[in-house]
Each structure stands twice: as C-alpha cells, then as structure tokens.
Chain A
Amino acid sequence: MSKDQFRSRWGFLAAAIGMAVGTGNIWRFPRMAAQYGGGAFILAYTLALFLWSAPLLMAEMAIGRKTRLGPIGGFRDFVGRRYTWMGGWVAAICLLITFYYSVVTGWCIKYFLLAIKGSFRAGVDTAALWSEFLHDRSQTVFFHILAIGLCGLIIYRGIQKGVERVAKLMVPALFIFLMAAALRAATLTGAGQGLTYLFVPEWSRLLQPETWLQAFTQSAWSTGAGWGLILTYAVYTSRREDISQNCLIIGFGDQTAALLAGLAIIPTIFALSPSLDSARAAMAGGNTGLTFISLAQLFPRMPGGMVIAPVFFLAMVFAAFTSLIAMVEVGVKTLMDGGCPRKKGTLLIVGATLILGLPSAIVPSFLDNQDWVWGVALLLSGFFIIVAVWKHGAEKIRRELINPSADIKMGPWWSIIIKFVSPVIFLFLAGWWFYRGIIDNPGTWWKPFGTFSAATILFQWGVLIAVLLLTNRKLARWTGRLPEEVD
C-alpha cells in the first residue's frame, strides 16, 4: 500500500464525513429548517441528497478513483484536454473558498477559547464582544494564521499519518460533542416549542420555491458535492473502493450531523430566549449572529451551560477544521500532480492561504463578498462535474466504474438523474440566485465591486474563466506527472 493512501475504508470515510460536515451543518441548517417550514424543509433537503448531492459525489469519486489525479488532471484525463480548464475552475473555487474559510475556522477557535475561559457570563454583551473581535485585526489575523498553520502541519505529514489520523479522532468526537449538546438542549424546560419548529412540517412551505431552493443549496454546499473534495480524497483509496455505498454514507452522515446540530440549537434558542419574538430574531440574525451572539448569550442561562459552551464550540472547531483540511488537500494534490512534492506543495498552499486570506481576516465585508461570489460558484463547479459525466458517458461510468465494486448497485435511474434532472436543478438554483441578487439589491446589483451584487459575481467569475481558458493548454501539459517521476 502506498504511503499516500488511506490505510482503511474507515479512515477514508472519517475523512470524507469530516470534509462534508462543516460549519454550515451547525450554523446554517438549523436556521434554514426552522425558518422554512421545519419538517417540510427536512423533506426537501433529504430529496436534494438523492437528486443532486449523492449522484454528484458518486461522479466525482469515479473521476478521482479512475484518474488518480486531482481536479485539473482528472478533467483532462476523464473528459479531454480541451476541458482541462473546467477542472481548473473546480480546483480554483475550492482554493478561493479556503482563503476565507481559514479565517472562519479561526473565529471558531477563538470562541472555543472564550468558552473555556468562561467569558460568556450573564450580562455580557455578546454582540459587542463579537463586533470587538471581528474588528480587532491583530486577533482575526492571529487566529487565521493559527488555523491554517495547524492545518498545514497535518497535511504536511501526509494522508495516513496526518489526514486519516486526525479525522479518525476528530470526526467521532464531533458527533459525540453534538450529541451531548443535543441531549442537554432537548431536556431543557420549554424545549418542546423548538422541537415543534424543527420537525413539524408546515406543508404550505413546499408550495414556495424559496423552500426548495434553500433546501437544495444547503444540501449542495453541505455535502461538498461539486467542490472537488471527494474527487481528491478518492485518489487515495483503493481501485476497488465502493463508490455508491461510501457516497451514500457520506450524505447520510452529513444529514445526521445537521439534525444533531438542529437538536442542539433550536430547542436552546426557544427554551432560553425571553420571548418568542427574540427567538425568531435570533434565527434571523444570520449564521454568525446565531452562533457567536445569540447562543453565546444563552449558554449562561442554561443549567450546565458553562460545560456545554466549550463542548459546542469545540464541535464547531472540529467541523470547520476537518473541512479546511480537505480544501487545502485539493490545492496540495493539484500541485503534486504538477510535479511538486507533498511537503513543498503544502508549504506553498499554506503560504498562499495565509497571505490571500489576510484581506478576509482584516475586512469583514471582503469575506462577505468572497462568500457570496464563490459560494454560488460551487453550483457551476457541480455543473462542470455533470458536463464531465455527459462527455465520458453516464452509463459507462455507472456500469464500468460504480457498479462493479458496489455493494449497492445503481440502477439506470442514476444516469437519468445526473444527465437530465441535475442540470435542470442547476439552472433553477443559479437562475434564482442571480434573480435574488438583482431584486434584493435594486440600486446596486449592476456594480462589479458591490459586496452582494449580481455583477460582482459575473465580474469575478468572468476574470477567472478568461484566465483558465487562456491557460488551458499549459494546464493540460503541466498536470499529471507523478511526483516520483519528477523527483
């Protein structure tokens, strides 16, 4: 067995579930579920797993396992030289997200340390605490450097000694921490109202397109479908590794963590908020508002809250960290495909993240802009995976790559979904996102340098696509040499 390969299937699954379960499971899913009809949203979200996320994860894993190359080389060998730039897009988006996700991971580390110190005491103005931290450049930069530095140390040690070992420790711990927080929340007096918000379906919500769109984007972002992450991890698996069963385990594992987070957060908000209106306001406060302001304020009111707060924020750290590792690995693998040894590649990607993450660490609105632009770009990455399937042949992938080693065989429905249903979903989701970008920002949507404008998405995407198209031939020539051949 190569040293750069997962030692066992369980190591791969731990790393892959860690990749999928990120901060979005903890701070976005519960909010979305409570705001968009509870059980109705969960139903739509579960359907999204089968119509978008799982088929895409399987296609990505097939590309990585077959080509043994990261996204750029993978696209070149799987689809054709002319399509190398699409793999470049997938890798670039992943890296561009890494730059600011390292900053977000740093926030989680900071809040874990604050929880350990017992800083969330009754009467503390958590909104001021958050604002003070967010605008203290020395702190946000320090925690950004800490996050990417620790991540680099793990990747530097390789797949078996680094990624696999850490994932086997952090992922089970993350589930245990979420369970502890969920148990505490569910047994609070008044938790029932939160449970009702989370689980009882408000059927009328299913008639609103917004519910479906939020459910599908949540599933797409949360499972990591289209990011190039599972494509990269698949390179380090055996050539007989089961694609379909592993991808379904990753998808269901991701949803399990999301529901645990929902059980930990929503009952806490409803049981401990002074009124129903303030509980609803906490839900509407956005991802960071809910986590770093509302929950930080409610923990001191919870019996045992001083213990649960560090446990909860450590779960956040582990969730963010295992996802950050997967993102950095995409960059490192891409450089390795170009002939760079792992250690040098790690130093280069960590250095790039450290420097290019600085604007996000220093200027919060820059991070918001990057999240807005490259978050939506993941949908286009997913579409490029669909293009790869079209060009290679969906039935060929299903018959020759997925089913021979599968415990759960995929029927022709898999090809039908990925060829016909997923592209329609992509058009619907991307179209809606641009539509919202225009109607929500009537005076500024056309500004290419606006934080949340539709034009800023088109402008930044356009620049990246132009660069990738111009360098397509060079990319195709550069990638695909194994490090052993070069060294």
Chain B
Amino acid sequence: MLKTYLWMAFFLLINWGGFAALLARAVRRESTKILDRRR
C-alpha cells in the first residue's frame, strides 16, 4: 500500500499543488494591485 500512497501523493501534489500555487499567486497579484491603487 505504501507504493499506492506515494503515487497518490505525487499526483495530488502536481495537480492540487499546481492549482493551489497558481491561485495563491493570483491572490498575491490582486492584493498588490489593490495596495498600489490605495497608494
């Protein structure tokens, strides 16, 4: 089962990790835009 869990972690990391990282980057960019507008 260890092999199964390792592969599961690998694929979830690529897909969900990729999705989360992209969303986090978009949030950071939008926040910067809002801060810039306030300045």
B16 A245 Cβ-Cβ under 8 A: no
List the count of A-B residue pairs having beta carbons below 8 Å apart.
Answer: 58
B26 A249 Cβ-Cβ under 8 A: yes
Out of A9, A42, A408, name the residue touching B11 (CB < 8 Å): A42
CB distance from B35 to the nearest CB of A (A): 16
Chain B residues near A9: list those with CB within 8 A.
26, 30
A407 B26 Cβ-Cβ under 8 A: yes
Chain B residues near A198: list those with CB within 8 A.
8
Instruction: Using CB atoms, name the residue of chain A closest to B14.
Output: A46
Taken together as a complex, chains A and B put the C-alpha atoms of A248 and B23 apart, in Å, by: 10
Residues 6-29 of chain B: 1 if any A CB is under 8 Å from the residue's CB, otherwise 0? 011011101110110011011001
Chain A residues near B15: list those with CB within 8 A.
42, 46, 252, 255-256, 259
Residues 41-59 of chain A: 1 if any B CB is under 8 Å from the residue's CB, otherwise 0? 0100010000000000000
Interface of B is mostly: helix
Chain B residues near A192: list those with CB within 8 A.
1, 4
Chain A residues near B37: list those with CB within 8 A.
none
A253 B19 Cβ-Cβ under 8 A: yes
CB distance from B1 to the nearest CB of A (A): 5
A249 B4 Cβ-Cβ under 8 A: no
Interface magnitude class on chain B: 20 to 34
Interface of A is mostly: helix
Taken together as a complex, chains A and B put the C-alpha atoms of A13 and B5 apart, in Å, by: 31
Taken together as a complex, chains A and B put the C-alpha atoms of A245 and B23 apart, in Å, by: 9
A199 at the interface (CB under 8 A from B): yes
A195 B8 Cβ-Cβ under 8 A: yes
B39 at the interface (CB under 8 A from A): no
A439 at the interface (CB under 8 A from B): no
Chain A residues near B10: list those with CB within 8 A.
39
CB distance from A67 to the nearest CB of B (A): 25
B38 at the interface (CB under 8 A from A): no
- Given the known A-B contacts A245-B22, A259-B12, A259-B15, are A201 and B7 also in contact in the complex, defined by CB atoms under 8 Å? yes
Which A residues have a C-beta under 8 Å from some C-beta of B?
9, 13, 38-39, 42, 46, 192, 195-196, 198-201, 242, 245-246, 248-249, 252-253, 255-256, 259, 407-408
Instruction: Give 24 pairs: A residue, B residue, CB < 8 Å, sorted on A.
Output: A13-B26, A39-B10, A39-B11, A42-B11, A42-B15, A46-B14, A192-B1, A192-B4, A195-B5, A199-B8, A199-B11, A200-B4, A200-B7, A201-B7, A242-B26, A245-B26, A249-B19, A249-B22, A249-B23, A252-B18, A252-B22, A259-B16, A407-B25, A407-B26
10 closest Cβ pairs, A-B complex: A252-B19, A199-B7, A199-B8, A196-B4, A256-B19, A252-B18, A255-B15, A249-B22, A195-B4, A200-B7
